[in-house]
Each structure stands twice: as structure tokens, then as C-alpha cells.
Amino acid sequence: MSEPEDLHEPNPEDLELQRAVRDLLRSDPVEIDPTRREAAIAAALEAAVSLEGPEEVAAERTAAQVAAHRSPAARHRRRPPGALQPILVAAAAVAVVAGGVAAFGQLGSDSQVDSAAEAESAHADSSTMSGASNEAGTDAAAGDDGSAAAPTTTVAAPSSAQRSAPDLGDFADVDALLETAATTLGPASSFDGSEQEGLASAEAELRDRAAAAGLPCAQQAGDRAAMPVALARVQAESVVVARTDTGTFLVLDAASCGELARR
Amino acid sequence: MSPVQGPREDPRSDAELVDLARSGDRRALDALLRRHHDRVHLLCRRLCRDRGDAEDATQEALIAIVRGLPRYDGRAAFTTWSYRVTTNACLDQLRRRARRPMPSDLGAGDGTGPAPLIEDAAARDAADPERSALAGEDRSQLQAALAALPEEFRVPVVLRDVTDLDYAEIGDLLDLPPGTVRSRISRGRARLAASLPDLRAGTGNQDRRDDVRPAGPT
């Protein structure tokens, strides 16, 4: 980090400024649209309801509810007009990706079997409200090594000893990537796991395996009820494609693991 | 649009409400969310440049809080923990925003050059107050100054001065060394002061109303 660090004690003027900024930031009024306020609370309550129901139905209900409560401007922003198409997605690459996805299918099955026993006990703890925190920022470093190794354009044949992540290639924007992800990865991802008992434990195992296979941001994707399924690049920046149980695809920044888009 | 209504008072503590919510008590969860909504929204409003983004981030944050409740271990105060969850929701929103220009921005200009992004919103509003009013922005002098402050300074300043997170916690959230966090906060405050002449005199925003008075972490 080349940025100079300011480690000295603040002088009295700084303390005065600090107090002034703090007071202003806390007291300057913020108007709240009561309709949006109620909508946000309703969406959160709905998310709680969803967490109590069957996994797939629940997640779909949550997604629909969240979308319904989102601001019209935001809904529009998520699909900007004139979205560019991918720069290049070779048919061969798609075929290789399919092979990679199939490999993860095997991978997922293995892990689900492996973790079946401990999953059963874990399930008991999450019967009322299971789910994930968004408190993932501190794990950003987890993606560092993975993202550095990510930019590959081919997928090696997976083996039990070494597995490579599917790579969807290069894209001009996230919409184009999401489009391709939906087409090539499809709704029936191997990371489903929703039919298994002890879902939480099985997912943790899957995340570990995904990370071992070179897919970063497993924890952060898990926090969003999703699993990493592929790598790609958007405008030359490495990203991770993750997928929820209901087939929603997320694009995460490979370096920070922050969510860039979803569909 | 109306000023914020005060949260419905519930005599139970956050810890009690959290325990009840975890056990499936919907009323307790509702009370918890109502108690913290305005505080969450204030943080989102300070972190996001745009009110629509802040509202979306607020909703995402509340959902993340609900989903994260089973993993909240109580070591930090609920308010502090919810601030961290909210910050992540806002940072996600900022990243999405950075990747996606506003539709109106795409259509702006004469088509001969790149369309301006939301980063220019403060400047546009300053040049065209009527546009800002029509857009329904409640942009005070402070919000305008914050919007003009680069994100690398705005986010640490807001996290420190609104949420009371310490340098190490902010560093964890932003993946920065604590010394860098401190430096950016210091420089960010100085920039704010430069754009808010009344700040040092203690008057701040002249259009101040007492709609929201967020409490510090409990």
C-alpha cells in the first residue's frame, strides 16, 4: 500500500473538526419515504417467512418479494437498454464449460454423501430461521489467491486429485455474462443440494470443495444463498458466477467477492 | 414524502427481541426491524450518493439482517453488528452502481461522447436545482458535499462518524490497513470541511430539521 499512513495523534483542530463532522453526519435530516420503509420491512419479514418454508419454494418467494419491493428505478437499472453482447464466447469453450459443470455435479454428489451424517445434526439448529449473514466483507482476502489464479480460458479434465473451475470467458458487461450463464449453466446446477437433509452442512462441504477447485468467494456466495459455479472476466476483471438453488445467477467480483449483479 | 416517524417504542431490549425473533416470534422481529430501520437507512443514505440506491440498500440490509440473525453471536451489540451487515449491503449497492450507469445517464448528452455516470449527480444538481427538486432528492448541503466526496474518503468517514466502528473494524470491512483508514478519514473530513464552510463554525446545514437523530451503538 503506497498510500501514506497518518498515525500521529490528531491535533486539537482535528478533534474539533471530528466533532463537527460527526455531529453533522448524525443530525442532518434524512427524509424517509414511509411507503419504502414499510416495503423494506415487509420484504425482510417475508424473507424470514421464506426461511421457514421448504427451501426452493421459500427462496423463490423471497426473490419475488424482494423484486416486488425494489424501487422502479432500480428494477430498470438492472436491465439497462442497449446491453452489449459478449465479445467472444466460442462454442468450444461452452462445450468445455459444460464438461466442467458436469464435473462439479460429480463433485457435489461426493460431498453430499460425505457430509450426510453431520448434516443431520446441523439441520436441527436451523429449523426456525436458517440463512446467511451479509457480513462477508472481512473475508474479502479469501478471494485473493483464487482470483489471481482464475483467468484461464480452458478447463482441465477434472480428477479426484485436481479439479479446475469452468471458465465462461470474456464479456463486455455483466448482463451478457448472466445471459450466457443462464444458457450454458442452466437451472439444474450440480450445487443444488436442496434435496439433501442437513443442507447447511452439505453446503459448507460444497463450498470447501468449490474453493479447492479454484473458485473463490465460496463463503460470500454462501452468504447470499448461492454457490460459485464458474469463472469469467468482465472488461478484463475477474469475476465469479454463483447460482442459487432457484436458478438465479449472481456475478461476484473475484477480488472483493462483492456482488455486482444478479438475474 | 414525510418526515421520519419515531420508532414504535418497545420496552424490550435488542437482545430480548433477537432471541424471540430467532425462536420464530414474528412480532419481535417486526419490532426489531422497525426499531433499527431508520438507523440503517441513515447509514445507507450517507454511504450511497443516490436516494433510490440508499432505499434499495436499506431493504437489502434488512433482509441480510434477518438472514444473518441465526449467526449473530451477541459478542457485539446488535446495533454494531447490524451496521456491519448494512455496510456490506451498501458496498454491494455501490459496486453494482459502479457497473451500471443510470438509464437517464445513458440517454443524456448528445451521443457524441460517453454519458456521465451517477458520480456527476451532485454537480448536475448544483447546476440545475430544479432538476434535483423534480427528482425528489432531499439533498441537503451535507448530502451534496458527501456525494461529491470520492468513495475512498466518503465510506471511511461515514463508517467512523456515523457507526462508531473503530479503525480496525473499518479496515476489515474495506480490506484496508488501519493506518490507511485513519489517513483517509482525516483527509475525508478535511475535504468535507472545505466544501462546507459553515462546518467549523458549528452551524452545518442551515436547513436542518430534527427528523432523524440516530443514536450511537448500544
What part of B 153-212 touches A (C-beta under 8 Å)?
157-158, 161-162, 172-177, 179-180, 182-184, 186-187, 189-190, 192-193, 196, 199-200, 202, 204-205, 208-212
Residue A105 contacts B, CB cutoff 8 Å: no
With 0-12 / 13-18 / 19 or more C-beta atoms within 10 angstroms meaning exposed / middle / buried, residue B95 is middle
pLDDT computed for residue B69 by the predictor: 92
Strands of the sheet with A167-171, listed across from one edge? A167-171, A226-234, A237-244, A249-253, A259-262
Partner-chain contact A24 B63, CB within 8 Å: no
pLDDT of residue A68: 55
Q: A78 and B100: CB-CB below 8 Å?
A: yes
Backbone φ and ψ of A149, nearest 5°: -90, -5
Report A:28-87 residues touching B (Cβ under 8 A). Answer: 28-34, 36-37, 39-41, 43-45, 47-48, 51-52, 62, 66, 69-71, 73-74, 76-78, 80-82
Q: Which residues contact B186 (CB under 8 A, 6 or more apart)?
A: A6, A10, A14
Q: What is the pLDDT of residue B180?
A: 94
A7 and B CB contact within 8 Å:
yes
Tens digit of pLDDT at every position of chain A (263 positions): 445 554 444 555 578 888 888 888 888 888 888 999 999 999 999 888 766 654 444 455 455 555 555 555 555 444 433 333 333 334 434 444 444 444 444 443 333 333 333 333 333 333 333 333 333 333 333 332 333 333 332 233 333 333 456 778 888 888 888 888 887 776 543 333 333 334 445 455 555 556 656 677 877 777 777 778 888 888 878 888 888 766 788 888 887 788 888 88
Q: pLDDT below 50 — which residues of chain B?
A: 1-7, 103-138, 203-218
User: Which of A2, A13, A19, A37 to probe the B interface (max B CBs under 10 A)?
Assistant: A37
Q: Bridge partners of A252?
A: A240, A259
Query: B56 — contact with chain A (CB < 8 Å)?
Result: yes
Helix or strand holding residue A259 (H, E): strand A259-262
For residue A195, what are the CA distances in angstroms to A51, A105, A106, A171? 15, 14, 16, 33
Return the beta strands (E) in A176-234 as ranges: 226-234
For residues A48 and B29, the answer to whether their CB atoms sit within 8 Å is: yes
DSSP per-residue codes, A72-119 = HHHHHHTS-TTPPPPSB--HHHHHHHHHHHHHHHHHHHHHHHHTHHHH
* Buried b or exposed e, range B42-68, using 16+ CB within 10 angstroms: bbbbbbbbbbbbbbbbbbbbbbbbbbb
Q: Does A231 touch chain B (CB under 8 A)?
A: no
Please write the tens of the pLDDT for every residue from B135-192.
444 457 888 888 889 999 999 999 999 988 899 989 988 889 999 999 999 999 999 8
B67 contacts in chain A (CB < 8 Å):
47, 51, 129, 131-134, 225
Q: What is the pLDDT of residue B59?
A: 95
ipTM reported for the complex, 2 dp: 0.73
Residue A262, strand partner residues = A250
> pTM value?
0.50
Give the cell for residue A158. 477434472
Check CB contact under 8 Å for A27 and B213. Answer: yes
Distances (CA, A) of A118 to A46, A52, A131, B70: 29, 21, 18, 18
Q: Chain A residue closest to B107 (CA)?
A: A81
CB contact under 8 A, A131 and B66: yes
Task: Give yes or no for A102 touching B (CB within 8 A).
Answer: no
| Angle of the A116-125 helix axis to the A91-114 helix axis, nearest 10 | 80
B186 with A10: Cβ contact below 8 A: yes
Write the residue in B22, B192, B205 that is nearest to A21 by C-beta.
B192
Mean pLDDT for chain B?
Answer: 76
Q: What percent of chain B has pLDDT over 70?
A: 69
Q: How many angstroms separate the CA atoms of A99 and A90, rounded?
A: 14
From the list A177, A208, A224, the residue with the least C-alpha distance to A216 is A208
